[in-house]
Amino acid sequence: MARRVLAAGLALVALVVTGCSRSEADVVPAAPVRDLGAHQVFRHQVYAQRDTGALRLDLFLPQRRGVATPLVVYVHGGGWDAGVRTLDADRSAPEAQAAQRLLERGYAVATVDYRLTGVARSPAQVVDVADAVRWLQQNSARWGLDSDRVALWGASAGGHLVSQLAAVAGDPAEPGGGLTGIRAVVDWFGPSDLSAEAQHAHPQLQDYARRAITGLLGCMPVDCPDVADAASPARNVSGDEPPFLIQQGTADSLVPLDQSLDFAATLRSHGVTAEMHPYQGLDHGFGNGPQTALIVDALDAFVRAHV
């Protein structure tokens, strides 16, 4: 998985919002140059407490337009064992450009922490992201969010997590399951099949699998096939999933392209809308080149069509 670790963001911008009073010490005027073009930014919001500490999120709000604001929740990558939620440290990154476009379109964007595999195994990460979404929905009135118009967006390990959440959304008995209001999922080059069969199909990824996938599952897929299948979005598709947009480079050196192609086909076979956009020559993480505009445009159009 991509291991790009973004630097910590700028200072917290805490503003008075309807129905939620704050002391003057908590109120910081908006900076002249706002983060990702956001009208307001609320950083370091604690959405859950775990034995390992607080889990936090940042919320970027657009200019209000007189109606409840739809929400896009972003989940970072990093092989499940690294990465941070910061989106705006590198404004040229595809993630930052996409987030800024969404804010311009009137969407709120939240970016969330989750427990890394150094402190917790699967399914802790999926549970954390689900809890972040629920917390935002439960507190939607504070920020004027529309809790019934939510999109999930993740990159690399985050793409896996949002795909898994969508796959189990219809089953409250599953870890992270039972989410409502999810209208769309955007998966950027996330692994969708962690199974023993996938491991056998791509022996060139064995060394990577031993490090990242074993860290997530606590075992190699061949040694715990049931655990691996349970954590694989492609193995949990029910037909209840919201529309998917899957975007990936054809030269991805970490997640095989055919895995995403097969995942899209599986979704379609269950009656789920699934767009698959491959980008010629791009590796894992996309980088920032001439195809970035196409990637952002596709995400923009998909979210506006479904959320």
Backbone phi, psi, residue 34, to 5°: -85, 150
Listed in sequence order, the residues at least 6 apart from 284 whose beta carbon sits closer than 8 Å to its beta carbon are 1, 2, 156, 189, 249, 252, 253, 254, 255
Q: What is the pTM of this model?
A: 0.88
Do the domain assignments include residue 1? no
Residue 1 confidence (pLDDT)? 42
Look at residue 120 in the predicted model and tell me its pLDDT: 97
Q: Could you report the per-residue pLDDT of 206-220, keeping only the tens digit for each?
A: 677 678 999 999 998
Point out the residues of the chain with pLDDT beneath 50.
1-33
Counting the structural domains of the chain, the total is 1
The type of residue at 143 is: W
Q: In terms of DSSP H, where are the helices of 209-277?
A: 214-217, 225-230, 257-269
- How far, in Å, CA of 263 to CA of 276, rounded? 9
Is 276 among the domain residues? yes
Please tell me the predicted confidence (pLDDT) of residue 209: 67
Cis peptide before 123 (omega within 30 of 0): yes
Domain range for 257 is: 24-306
In a domain, 192, yes or no: yes
- Predicted confidence at residue 297, as pLDDT, reads 98
Structure confidence by residue, pLDDT tens digits, 128-160: 999 999 999 999 999 999 999 999 999 999 999
Check residue 18 and give its pLDDT: 28
In a domain, 16, yes or no: no
Residue with the two structure tokens 């991509």: 2
Task: Give the domain CATH number at 163.
Answer: 3.40.50.1820
Is residue 4 assigned to a domain?
no
Q: What is the pLDDT of residue 64?
A: 86
